[in-house]
Amino acid sequence: MLSMDRRNLAAIAGLALALGAPSALAQDIRVVDAWSRPTPPGIDVGVAYFVIVNAGKSDRLLRVSSPVAKRAELHISAMTGGVMKMEGLNAVEVGSGARTSFEPNGRHVMLLGLKRPLKEGEVFPLVLTFANAGPIKTSVQVRGADGLRKDHSMAPSMQH
């Protein structure tokens, strides 16, 4: 009877370990230096930038969301034939051991249908959902239009 209990205990421990795997994956991915620009009154479109640091296995960023907007979409801006063009992305590959930047004139998150203007100094939540790591929440700091804080320094990295 005792050996049966040990087998059951081992099976339960294995199952718990397997179910805990997504949270372990999430710890391998960090979102740092998340920031946005303020939006003028009457404008219902904003943007968010950040860096994904992946210390684990390759993953894919599938979607983003934030309570400050009706929708959030992955986009990229690129120069094509001398013209800056923006297009939507279905997903973004996040390589193993890589830093993936979302920055002006490159990959970024479009915040569509803002519920209110974004004001300098505010902080709002952004959730990034990965294929393997699952959802990761970060805080986005609204900096000045030039990407700097009021004291003209870059904001410290925010990690979650």
> Residue 86 falls within a domain, yes or no?
yes
pLDDT in tens, 101-130: 999 999 999 999 999 999 999 999 999 999
> Residue 154 falls within a domain, yes or no?
no
Tokens coding 22? 């997504």
> Residue 7 falls within a domain, yes or no?
no
Cα→Cα distances 133→20, 28, 152, 158, Å? 11, 8, 35, 19
How many whole angstroms separate alpha carbon 139 and alpha carbon 124? 6
Q: Is 128 left (phi over 0), alpha (psi -120 to 50) or beta?
A: beta
Mean pLDDT across the stretch 68-96?
92
**pLDDT bracket for residue 23 (50, 70, 90):** very low
Mean pLDDT across the stretch 46-65?
97
* pLDDT given for residue 17 in this prediction: 43
> Residue 148 falls within a domain, yes or no?
no
Q: Provide the H-helix boundaries in the chain.
A: 2-28
Other CB atoms within 10 Å distance of the CB of residue 45: 11
CATH code for the domain of 54 = 2.60.40.1890
Q: Assess whether pLDDT exceeds 80 at residue 33.
A: yes
Domain count of the fold of the chain:
1
> Residue 153 falls within a domain, yes or no?
no
